[in-house]
């Protein structure tokens, strides 16, 4: 027959096993627990992210000059070139961070912010100049609202020391957004080039961009719901 001391030891051991199993289960369920990374701000991947942020006012200036100040259509090609260069940095910063083992907590925080700044500013300028109009404005609204929702969720969960990793589908969503915005930045200038080739006026480039924008908005809705569902358990705890 077990003594009270033995019973106490067995009880504490059982609690420890149960607690460990519960922790492993929670980590496996949401996959949000992340290892702490060094806070290095002066690395090549982070420098590429800085460049992407610097591209935001440059693209906005080109679009503003072309529309509000009545500049030439060449400014849309300039905006597109800067935008493409910024998109390339989005690919390279992650690649170099992995290959050269320069991943950092600062870079992980700054990278999605740079993407959101670039996408949001471009969508606002495209709505302002009328490239995105009518029902297509709802696609832009969905994208912007999702970005705000996920950013708020990330900030709240960061206080709980819970990471929100970027999913593969979310990466494809960002790619679709960038491609759509690229077509829309070319916009009228691209339509004129295609029209001169086919001989029939039409919104060829703009139409492709708007179609991709709707596709990315639908994927955005799904990934936004996915993120919210993953984080809502921590919101109600």
User: What is the secondary structure of the chain as a DSSP string?
Assistant: ---HHHHHHHHHHHHHHHHHHHHHHHHHHH-----------SSHHHHHHHHHHHHHHHHHHHHHHHHTS---THHHHHHHHHHHHHHHHHHHHHHHHHHTT---HHHHHHHHHHHHHHHHHHHHHHHHTTSS-TTHHHHHHHHHHHHHHHHHHHHHHHHTT---PPPHHHHHHHHHHHHHHHHHHHHHHHHHHHHHHHSS---HHHHHHHHHHHHHHHHHHHHHHHHHHHHHHHHH-
pLDDT for position 26: 35
pLDDT for position 59: 95
Tell me, what CATH number does 124's domain have? 1.20.120
Does a structural domain hold residue 10? no
Structural domain for 101, as ranges: 31-236
Does a structural domain hold residue 137? yes
Does a structural domain hold residue 193? yes
Does a structural domain hold residue 116? yes
Does a structural domain hold residue 14? no
Spell out the per-residue pLDDT of the chain, length 237, in tens: 444 444 343 444 444 434 443 333 233 334 444 445 555 567 777 888 888 999 999 999 999 998 888 888 899 999 999 999 998 887 887 777 777 776 776 767 777 788 889 999 999 999 999 999 999 999 999 999 988 887 777 777 766 666 666 667 777 888 888 999 999 999 999 999 999 888 878 888 999 999 999 999 999 888 887 777 767 776 665
Does a structural domain hold residue 21? no
pTM of the model: 0.75
Does a structural domain hold residue 47? yes
Does a structural domain hold residue 201? yes
Total domain count, the chain: 1
């Amino acid at each position: 027959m077990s003594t009270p001391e033995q019973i106490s030891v067995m009880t504490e051991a059982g609690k420890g096993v149960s607690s460990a199993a519960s922790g492993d289960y929670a980590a496996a369920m949401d996959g949000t627990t992340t290892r702490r990374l060094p806070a290095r701000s002066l690395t090549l991947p982070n420098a590429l992210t800085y460049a992407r942020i610097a591209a935001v006012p440059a693209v906005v200036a080109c679009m503003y000059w072309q529309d509000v100040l009545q500049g030439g259509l060449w400014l849309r090609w300039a905006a597109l070139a800067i935008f493409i260069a910024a998109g390339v940095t989005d690919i390279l910063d992650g690649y170099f961070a992995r290959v050269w083992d320069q991943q950092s907590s600062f870079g992980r925080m700054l990278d999605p912010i740079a993407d959101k700044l670039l996408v949001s500013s471009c969508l606002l300028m495209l709505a302002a100049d009328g490239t995105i109009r009518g029902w297509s404005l709802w696609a832009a609204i969905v994208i912007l609202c999702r970005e705000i929702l996920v950013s708020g969720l990330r900030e709240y969960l960061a206080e709980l020391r819970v990471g929100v990793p970027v999913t593969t589908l979310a990466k494809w969503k960002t790619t679709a957004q960038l491609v759509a915005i690229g077509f829309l930045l070319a916009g009228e200038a691209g339509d004129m080039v295609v029209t001169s080739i086919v001989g029939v006026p039409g919104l060829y480039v703009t139409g492709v961009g708007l179609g991709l924008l709707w596709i990315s908005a639908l994927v955005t809705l799904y990934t936004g719901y996915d993120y919210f569902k993953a984080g809502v358990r921590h919101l109600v705890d």
